[in-house]
Amino acid sequence: MITKKNKKVVAIIALALILAMVIGTVASALI
């Protein structure tokens, strides 16, 4: 069962992945 706590964790992980992708893209553009 998915609890509110789990949803929060999933949201944080999703945001972290998106941020990592954005940072990677910016880094590639700058190099």
Residues spanned by the domain of 31? 1-31
Q: What pTM value is reported for the model?
A: 0.65
Per residue in 1-31, pLDDT tens?
667 888 999 999 999 999 999 999 999 998 7
In the chain, the N- to C-terminal Cα span, in Å, equals 44
pLDDT, position 1: 60
**Structural domains of the chain, count:** 1
Question: How confident is the model at residue 5, as a pLDDT?
Answer: 85
Amino acid at 14: A
Between the CA atoms of 23, 24, 29 and 31, what dihedral angle is there, to the nearest 10 degrees? 110
